[in-house]
Amino acid sequence: MAYLRKYCRLSANSILESVIALCIIAICLYVAVLVYAAVFTPKTSPKFYGSRNRLAEIYYMVQVNPDTIEKMSNDNLVIHQEWVNSNLQEFSINYKDSSGVFIKNDFFVQQQNEK
């Protein structure tokens, strides 16, 4: 057994080890950058989720008080309302935030008949 150790002993070359280590690190960094680029897109940014939350807030405001919807319209927020039938109203909301993300959403609000 002692003789086998003598034949299998290889002296390590420090330059070769360094090159192999740098290649492994480069491959890991490449994979990390690919994952980072796939995960952090404009559709997964915090501003995008903030914009979606703003649209949800507008939707609930329309349900609570539909008369205030005209006051909320501005350059970044365009609200188009249309009656589908006598008790169903469609709201098309186009929202553009400061980062240039454009979100369009359609909401349908059913008006309750008061008797």
Task: Report whether 66 contacts 82 (CB < 8 A).
Answer: no
d(CA 72, CA 59): 12
Q: Across the chain, how many H-helices and E-strands are there?
A: 4, 3
The confidence score (pLDDT) of residue 100 equals 72
pLDDT tens digits for range 20-75? 899 999 999 999 999 988 887 766 677 777 778 878 887 787 777 767 766 766 77
Domain of 77 in residue numbering reads as: 45-110
d(CA 81, CA 69): 9
The confidence score (pLDDT) of residue 48 equals 74
| pLDDT level of residue 114 (50, 70, 90 thresholds) | low
Tell which wins on pLDDT, 19 or 48.
Answer: 19
Task: Report whether 95 contacts 55 (CB < 8 A).
Answer: yes
Domain contains 105: yes
33 and 50 part of one domain = no
33 and 49 part of one domain = no
pTM value surpassing 0.75: no
